[in-house]
Structure 1
């Protein structure tokens, strides 16, 4: 073997040995690199670990969360004798019924909406119902005289101003609060409720008279199988034997599908925010590597003077960069692994989370891969420029400034890492279309930010001469070779734009919920109005709220089971349309087109139409489901499959909170079908006192009608949004912290040139005060320009999300603009002056000797 071949063979080992020797001096110069990688890695690792921990806990506790091995749910009807016999043959069965109703005091002085749940003696088949006082459930719900026992959520007692032992009315039944609910095992599988829980016996529900023809009630049958491994076969057998039952079947392996989907969506969103922080940190990685290698010029020149080829030099510092990246990734993984354990202390009361520390290797591995690809993608280009340092740099530090692009292998390597990073983000996403939009927006933002920095430099170069020496120096610093302008604009631009986007989305949602939407929304929804009550109900509202506009429609419940004869479970439906197929939907029929909708395609049927069943479908949801005019929709209503042809599509104003339906059928479709009525009343000028009087009057006169005050529901949604906003702001803060680190790295990368400028200017007579003013002016100009970009980019992004995705009105909020500008100026001026203060005291002689 030749001597050259031997050298090439052992070059990697030589590079590693040299890299380790040079790192004996510590990690000086790499602290910002470490922080950027650790921060982004921790965010991604923590979010995905938390998501996996919740999903794993749900899966492990599926039987308890469902209170059974398998659950059959029927809407608006109980199981037939044949269906009941089949369920009984499977094992132990617990039947329950759930509906919304009004709980009121016996004297009629107060009332409150409740989530009523009636259970039998077998409940719960799995898990334990915890109450205070702790007594057997059968005893707590037992009947004494004419009064039934009940247990309630503490919030209900608070709203009605009652205590344990007090009596309330539910429909026509009198119940006594015998205990409060501490923990309900299957609460999560029952779904989100807008009202506090009230649990009674099946006999109490029967006595209340709440379950009538057309009442919106869910009947659940939970089965404890003799062999839980038979879940899949039991489900298949049920679907085969009762194809038209219309029941929704859920197994313990998927006890909370809505919660799982929401957790997945939210974790994807936070992962993308964490990826933004990592990409922003990538700019900091590039700056840190450039600054570090800039300080190693003499070492690189020495290597070359001793005969080391450029490839060996690149391998030495690539080895160092990889080792530092792995250290940063390790730090990030440690913190990310701790996040689920820390979050569990705050989420234990609302979500199923593990109480012991656990590791989630796949989540940590994914975060590590993201971190490594980011480090390589942003470190390769500075490395490629550093290998071009000539041996003469050993003798003249200021004599070489690398310009242009590095060699093509380095460009190809950086592009390959970026492509792998993008591919990984799309491949691991729940909704890949959102990931593609996000990646496109990030790429466009990078290009736009480069354009913004070029524009700022161009304007500074062509600005008129000013009299102030400090301001003139600041303007010159903005456009001179090696200026900080690109680094500062890029580092702050993404972080601030993300902050503005999230702040505007949050602000618009809150304003809509508390302002415009609340003003346009009905005052009340009234549910379960029986046909025999509708005339009296109209008269009552005419007296109680004479200026109110009453809208009433027939209301049924149905579940979509097929499109064009194809089972909906076999269709690949995008996430945006899955909610339409999840469970039962409210449906109605109408002779005329609803007032709050407009036709986009097709025609409405005649008032006296008597042909085949027709249906009008919401246009947006139809697009998500891939439907077209003439398609057949099969809906199961009251255990009967009904097929209708799509006659038209219509735009629905969901944000108005008025009566809206995904599907409106022609009247002949449900001729003779039993149903109840749904009504709203709108009076924008009604006071809280008048609304309370209406609520009291309707509840006392018609105890089986459920009244929902819309403002109360909006308050609950607003509270939930506030809780979500806390997590979103925390994620945005991670991106902003990454921006701060990147800004500090950009300043560190330019320190050598700043020292040279400061020494030369001081030698020529400039005072420290002049230099401070010059630097301050420069940072103010750059901070203001970056804030303007962030306001524009964030405003456009928020407008797209709010108006196009959420279909809500979107406005620009001045307070967000002011806060953004203040944050940008504080960050640029504060961090900038802190980073350059040491430069102002630099001794002149050592620097001048290197010129």
Structure 2
């Protein structure tokens, strides 16, 4: 009774303690009414006092929240900064945010719209590209050249034009000066400082162009490049009415005033306006300049979003397990409070405020750690990615991380908090004895009925995490599948925990006498009264799923990106190889030491499109695809999908269908022209080539990586279909970038009519960006996995306090340390294996759908899955013992004195 009186005095009641004690003597129910008026301030004081007295127990809670928020803030903050830097480099490949290519001048209405866009702060510059003839005094033979006129004061918006000798473009393109490609000097036998004549004007060669930032997005016209100012082009007289110049408008979106990177939404909005304003123009943004780069950016964005979500949920799982272990330790205190008249609502209020305090404390520590991680990443990665991101601390991102951490902490602590309602005062005497549920079905029905509040709590968890996922994720696809997968795995894990424990109980009841005693006791431990096995099984399974999702996703994405960043992809392209030159060209390329990979040679027949699905070309309604482009399309043949080409829809023809290609033509169409022409599998396209006209059925829609010579072709047909048509060959080779000039000279000497286009530097830029993406993805994935393992380890370690009493009982009954260690090891291993099987299965399923939506090649990684299963078991056993080994050394009397 002394203890009870002291406990009563410690329960506060209003501001007048003595008055409360007097009323208690006259009214036994006053204490209950007094507890009903428990203020939040008093509840917070009680919660804080308990936190101070149990610092060690709350370490795992704060650690889980801090690591989760740190991973979320650090990974999200750094990936955002790094992505902004990468996107700036991607913009340099186009030299702008957007490009609108059109033939001829815009109409007055279009010019008015462009002026309105420029008045809103969008920078605009015009790049004119045109074919012309150039000649020199030394060699009177004219040469076809590709003239490019720019405003050097604005062009390029991003990137730099590399000149030899090094100089600024504004300083070079003065007066009658021009910059030319090295192959022009070779062909006309000129040197820097010599004169060339283009149109009506003579120009001085002031510099040599070694690289243009927009070389890949510009025109691949036949002939060496001549770069001049717009004033110089006007003096040539080439811009006469009716000329065939290509006008390419470049746009730069104004940066936000707060210093953050230009958003994709702003670029997309401007693109939508330009598509509507310029119906005859081809409008693309900086992400569409190279398929490999676009793919890398999209996949990296989705994967980094997934890492942020995983860090968030794993932190919440750790919090839930730590709070569950803490509340399990406080059951006696809760039962005593209830025996003194406290209601479940007041006790929940105390522990809810305690959860808020822990979540806020862990969140603040996590934010500080996350900012530190974000600032440290560039130094750790500087030798790998060779780029310094423009780091900026975004208060909104910090607030989002802190808010998400506190919210997930509250959500995942709801189930253990609701368990307080079921704590009865008699628990002081009966401890954690379970009531017999009866038959299986009856027990299941009773558990479901008793768990209505828990089911509602889990529904709130799923709803809250879905909203957070959609808010935190930069990818709607990742956010959607993440939420679906989380809902599925939670439901399955909860059901699996119940089924597994019931199955074990049934199994042991039939085989109890045939199993070694250590195995029997270890399995029985999983369903002993008060054991948190079900919760731990669900937490471990969810954690394993999240970690394996990150690992499998990064493995597939990195493998895919590594293919597009291979060092032997074509970087020199050959244009207009005559049919009678192809055999000699093959021999020359095979004997050239500068070439480091087998050449790719592509036959092309020129045709025009006469009709689509029976509709004449003149009546087609096309969007951002000028009808004059239907007059010249390029056809080629291939027996199978060429390197770098994949089938997006449909199927490639068989050998039998190819043999029948003349009677029943089939065609495979590239994705972009198929979209613009409205083609799908089963559509028909009528081609008119020379004096022949034939109609082909679309058998497949193809997708090209843009890295091979075969990417030039848009329509693939069987060879027999094109038999007899005149063809011109195109080629692509990979040469040592430092020796491209030697290759150009050798090719010109043997085949002076073949144009050599050197894009080695431009492709090297893309390759370096993709490699940087790979390194960052691998590094951040490793960091996220490490954080997840630490959180799971803390969740397992949080159960150590629950095991103290078990060890005391076993030791009192005469069990040795070895026997106890064996029993616990079997329990940990079974937990790990069951959670691993369920978690890895769901990870494989979700990753399959994620990779499919991101167009990433997918395959079942049985080896990785099996390794993940073994590591889960090892982690569970190892972590359990790292946290619990000291318990074995405690004497029973030491623990019993604390009871």
What's 1:18 paired with? 46
Task: Please list every run of 5 or more consecutive structure 2 residues that lacks an aligned counterpart in the other structure.
Answer: 1-28, 131-145, 193-204, 239-243, 258-266, 438-446, 592-597, 610-616, 642-646, 686-694, 719-725
- Which of the numbers 791, 806, 813 marks the counterpart of 2:855? 806
1:553 corresponding residue in structure 2: 604
- Give the corresponding residue for 2:153: 122
Structure 1 residue 844: Cα displacement: 1.4
Of 63, 67, 74, 2:101 maps to 74
- Alpha-carbon offset, residue 316 of structure 1: 0.9
Contact 1:528 1:705 in 2 (8 A): yes
In the other structure, the counterpart of 1:447 is 491
Measure, in 2, the Cα distance between the counterparts of 1:238 and 1:745.
54
- Give the one of 659, 681, 687 matched to 2:710: 659
CA distance in 1, matches of 2:603, 2:896: 87
1:401 CA drift (Å): 8.9
RMSD: 6.7
Q: Counterpart of 1:371?
A: 405
TM-score normalized by structure 2?
0.63
Matched, 1:415 2:463: no
TM-score w.r.t. the length of structure 1 is 0.66
Aligned to 1:37: 65
Shift of 1:335: 3.3
Any idea what the Cα deviations from partners look like across 1:634-679, whole Å, max 9, x if unmatched?
A: xxxxxxxxxxx99746243758968358954999xxxxxxx99664
1:625–1:372 distance in 2 versus 1, CA, 3 Å: farther
The residue aligned with 1:328 is: 362
CA distance in 1: counterparts of 2:288 and 2:562, whole angstroms = 35
Change in Cα spacing, 1:541 to 1:619, as seen in structure 2 (3 Å) is closer
Query: How far apart, CA to CA, are the structure 1 residues paired with 2:291 and 2:565?
Result: 29
Structure 1 unaligned blocks of 5 or more: 100-114, 151-165, 570-579, 634-644, 668-674
**CA positional deviation for 1:385:** 0.9
- Residues 384 and 410 of structure 1 are in contact (CA less than 8 Å); yes or no, is this contact kept in structure 2? yes
* Structure 2 equivalent of residue 437 of structure 1: 481
Deviations 1:210-257 (A, max 9, x none): x9xxxx99865558999x99x99999998898653x253879x99999
Q: 1:358 aligns with which of 393, 408, 419?
A: 393
Whole-Å Cα distance in 1 between the matches of residues 677 and 806 of structure 2?
A: 63
**Contact 2:603 2:637 (8 Å CA) reproduced:** no
Across the two proteins, how many residue pairs are aligned to each other? 751
Distance 1:54 1:599 in 2: 38
Q: Which moved more, 1:309-318 or 1:417-426?
A: 417-426
Q: After superposition, what is the alpha-carbon deviation per residue over 1:606-631, rounded to whole angstroms, capped at 9, x for unaligned? A: 97999xxx997568997999976899
Residue in structure 2 matching 1:290, options 279, 302, 324: 324
CA shift digits 1:290-325 (9 cap, x unpaired): 111122223222322322112111111111111211
1:312-352 CA deviation, whole Å, 9 max, x = no partner?
A: 11111111111211222222233344555445666899779
CA–CA separation in structure 2 for the residues paired with 1:63 and 1:389:
62
Q: Which residue of 2 aligns with 1:748?
A: 798
Match of 1:775 in 2: 824
How many angstroms apart in 1 are the aligned matches of 2:830 and 2:338? 41
Cα distance in 2, alignment partners of residues 394 and 53 from structure 1:
55
Alignment match, 1:424: 468
SS at structure 2 position matched to 1:387:
helix
Q: Indicate how the Cα distance of structure 1 residues 149 and 254 shifts in structure 2: closer, same or farther if over 3 A, else same.
A: closer
Deviation at 1:392, TM superposition (A): 3.3
Residue 248 (structure 1) aligned to one of 249, 271, 283: 283
Q: Please give the alpha-carbon distance, in whole angstroms, between the structure 1 residues aligned to 2:393 and 2:783.
A: 26
CA-to-aligned-CA distance 1:764-791 (integer Å, 9 cap, x gap)? 2222122223333433444445445555
Equivalent position SS for 1:810: coil
Are the aligned partners of 1:470 and 1:774 in contact in 2 as well (CA < 8 Å)? Answer: yes
Give secondary structure in 2 for the equivalent of 1:282: helix
CA contact (8 A) 2:680 2:701 kept: no
Deviation at 1:419, TM superposition (A): 0.8
Instruction: Give the structure 2 partner of residue 529 of structure 1.
Output: 575
Judge conservation of contact 1:381–1:414 (CA < 8 Å) in 2: yes
Counterpart mapping for 1:97-108 below 5 A: none
Which residue of structure 2 aligns with residue 831 of structure 1?
879
Match of 2:700, SS?
strand
Residue 502 to residue 322, structure 1, CA distance change in 2 (3 Å): closer
Q: After the TM superposition, which residues 451-600 of structure 1 pair with which residues of structure 2 at under 5 Å, given as runs? A: 452-453=496-497, 457=501, 458-459=503-504, 462=507, 464=511, 465=513, 468-483=516-531, 485-504=533-552, 506-507=554-555, 527=573, 529-530=575-576, 533-541=578-586, 550-554=601-605, 588-590=633-635, 595-596=640-641
Residues 260 and 13 of structure 1, relative CA distance in 2, 3 Å threshold: farther
Secondary structure, in 3 states, of the residue corresponding to 1:391? coil
Determine the structure 2 residue equivalent to 1:277: 311
Counterpart contact for 1:141–1:149, Cα < 8 Å? no
- Relative to 1, partners in 2 of residues 1:322 and 1:516: Cα closer, same or farther, differing over 3 Å? closer
- 1:146-165 aligned at under 5 Å gives the runs none
Which is greater in Rg?
A: 2
Provide the rounded CA distance (Å) in 1 between the counterparts of 2:631 and 2:778. Answer: 32
> CA distance change for structure 1 residues 766 and 744 in 2, over 3 Å: closer, same or farther?
same
Maintained 8 Å contact 1:510/1:718: no
Distance 2:129 2:386 in 1: 20
Going from structure 1 to structure 2, the CA distance change for 1:327 and 1:507 (only over 3 Å counts) comes to: closer
Question: How many Å separate the matches in 1 of 2:294 and 2:551?
Answer: 26
Match of residue 107 from structure 1 = none
Residues 268, 26 of structure 1: alpha-carbon distance in 2 compared, 3 angstrom cutoff: farther
Structure 1 residues 307 and 696: alpha-carbon distance in aligned structure 2, compared to 1, 3 A threshold: farther
Contact 1:470 1:770 in 2 (8 A): yes
What do residues 94-151 of structure 1 show as CA deviations (whole Å, max 9, x unaligned)?
Answer: 665899xxxxxxxxxxxxxxx9998664355878969999855455689999x9688x
Cα distance per residue 1:252-282 (max 9 Å; x no partner): x999999999767644432332222322332
C-alpha displacement of 1:511: 6.2
* C-alpha distance in 2 between matches for 1:726 and 1:585: 43
Is residue 330 of structure 2 the alignment partner of residue 299 of structure 1? no
Give the Cα–Cα distance (whole angstroms) in 2 for the partners of residues 55 and 824 of structure 1: 32
User: Which residues of 2 match residues 624-643 of structure 1 at below 5 A?
Assistant: none
Asked if 2 retains the 8 angstrom alpha-carbon contact of 1:453 and 1:486, the reply is yes
